Amino acid sequence: MQSVAAALDRLGELAASPTVAKLAEAFAAAGHELALVGGPVRDAFLGRGTNDLDFTTDATPDAILAIVKPIAEAHWDIGRAFGTIGAKVAGETVEITTYRADAYDGASRKPEVIFGTSLEDDLTRRDFTVNALALRLPQLALVDPSGGVEDLLSRTLRTPAAPEQSFGDDPLRMLRAARFSAQLGFEVEAGTRAAMSELAPEIDRISAERVRDELSKLLLTPAPRGGIRLLVDSGLAERVLPEIPALRLEVDEHHHHKDVYEHSLTVLDQAIDYEVSRGVLDSPDLVVRLAALLHDIGKPATRRLEPGGAVSFHHHDVVGAKLARKRLRELRFDNDTIAAVSRLIELHLRFFGYADAAWTDSAVRRYVRDAGDQLERLHILTRADVTTRNRRKADRLGFAYDDLEERIAVLAEEEELAAVRPELDGQQIMQLLDVKPGPVVGEAYRYLLEVRLDEGPIGPDAAKERLLDWWAARERA
């Protein structure tokens, strides 16, 4: 956290940048107010880098366009109905929005868009006090009508208006509270937290797409655990991602198992650590984080209390993959993300027999084949799934997975393992067997693939002999 003086110095430097200075001069010359608002001002106090430049003004969208056209390399008005004009000025992308004084009807999230005339009124309708800060340009006057600076200093998240009013106006702000608490490491103020619990059912008014976007932003923060816990504790998760609070399984006095909810949060933490430390994937990786959080959601449905005090969760991997597909579809995730996450959940237990009995080369090939382009993510998820406090067991599993990765690397170098396929393609199969396209070609292809997985490369000539032997046996059957 920067001191106020240091933050103001940083804001002064930002205001002197070519982009901000050009805009400030242009709006002043046109007789309109302009202020840098929200994230850039907040981040100056937090000592964080500035990624987006957002401005607000008393100018209407038409007036904004007239002002920026002469100084912009490009401009667009896709958000014009909401008062927002985008532009590229001095090489930087900016958004400039007319002061807002929206009215909500209480039934849907969408407000009636009403333009305002006061910067202070515009700020007090924003989501949180720490985002309700502005720097008037070119005067360099800090505007803070809701005590945002004090909340930044105390690392507190609260709404400028009464939280019941703020969340009632826009229930999505409750999910944003969880996201910002994780992103900034701030504590949500008690009254704001209480309002989240009270108004949790209001989140049902928000579209699945908007919910998905906020959950994704939360998961992509450096440490999402606290935000997820806030969603669960407030009752919001029960409405947007109910599989997570369902992991808080009751423990029978005669049957004991690890806390699946806490385990899942720990797996998420560890997956993020591996994602960063391995440096193979672009980080943050949403697929890894979704798979880590959801990998055990099949356990509540498959929990069985066994004689002698044991607890089993047979096939929770398969059940969990189905549940993940269903939930992610309902949240309108794209098909590639749904397929990748559900596949990882389905495969996340595959490794755990390796530590007890070393696999054959055939089993290693099948592991790689089944993982496909999700292999690196499966490595991360499987390693992260080891949360035992038994250091000997953790070391044994870690060493076993090191060994498996080494074997995969050796086989990959020897056999082009990432592209395992039969040594004869469909055209060659049809020519050799003198058959036309049809189911029999796929059957022959699958047979040769099994040979390839079992034995590794055997060469085209040997593959032809094996295929002809298989064909003769099939004809005799």
Structure tokens at 303: 């929990």
- To the nearest 10 degrees (0 to 180), the angle between helices 361-371 and 439-455 is 130
Cα–Cα distance for residue pair 216/271, rounded to 1 Å = 16
> What's the whole-number mean pLDDT along residues 439-463?
81
Residue 316: pLDDT over 90: yes
Give the residue among 386, 368, 378, 464 at the shortest CA–CA distance from 425.
Answer: 464
Closest CA to 122 of 76, 179, 54, 180: 54
pTM score: 0.83
Three-state SS at 135: strand
Other CB atoms within a 10 A radius of the CB of residue 406 amount to 10
Q: How confident is the model at residue 108 (pLDDT cuts 50, 70, 90)?
A: low
Model pLDDT for residues 279-294, shown as the tens digit of each residue: 888 889 999 999 999 9
Q: What is the band of 214 on the pLDDT scale with cuts at 50, 70, 90?
A: very high
Which phi and psi angles does 112 have, rounded to 5°?
Answer: -80, 120
3-class SS of residue 85:
strand
Q: Domain-by-domain residue ranges, the chain?
A: 1-154, 155-241, 242-419, 426-476
pLDDT at 253: 47
3 state DSSP class of 143:
strand
CATH class of 1-154: alpha beta
Please, are residues 109 and 213 in contact by the beta-carbon 8 Å criterion?
no
Residue range 242-281, pLDDT digits in tens:
999 999 975 544 445 568 999 999 999 999 999 999 888 8
Q: What CATH architecture applies to the domain 242-419?
A: Orthogonal Bundle (1.10)
pLDDT value, residue 213 = 97
Beta strands in 402-468 (DSSP E): none
pLDDT score, position 114:
78
Evaluate whether 114 touches 101 at the Cβ level (below 8 Å): yes
pLDDT reported for residue 450: 81
Q: Are 158 and 151 contacting, i.e. CB atoms less than 8 angstroms apart?
A: yes
Rounded average pLDDT over 114-122: 89
Judge contact between 367 and 317, C-beta under 8 A: no
Query: What is the mean predicted confidence (pLDDT) over 119-131?
Result: 95
Quick one: CATH architecture of 155-241? Orthogonal Bundle (1.10)
Nearest residue to 143 via CA among 50, 64, 38: 38
> For 65-95, how does the pLDDT look when each residue is reduced to its tens digit (9 = 90+)?
999 999 999 999 888 888 899 999 999 999 9
The token pair at 133 is 């800060």
pLDDT (average), residues 110-114: 66
**Alpha-carbon dihedral sign for residues 125, 126, 127, 130:** negative
Alpha-helix runs per DSSP H in 279-390: 286-294, 299-302, 316-330, 335-347, 361-371, 375-384
For 147-203, write each residue's pLDDT tens digit: 999 999 999 999 999 999 999 989 999 999 999 999 999 999 999 999 999 999 999
Share above pLDDT 90 across residues of the chain, in percent, rounded to a whole number: 60
Task: Determine how β-strand 187-188 pairs with β-strand 156-157.
Answer: parallel
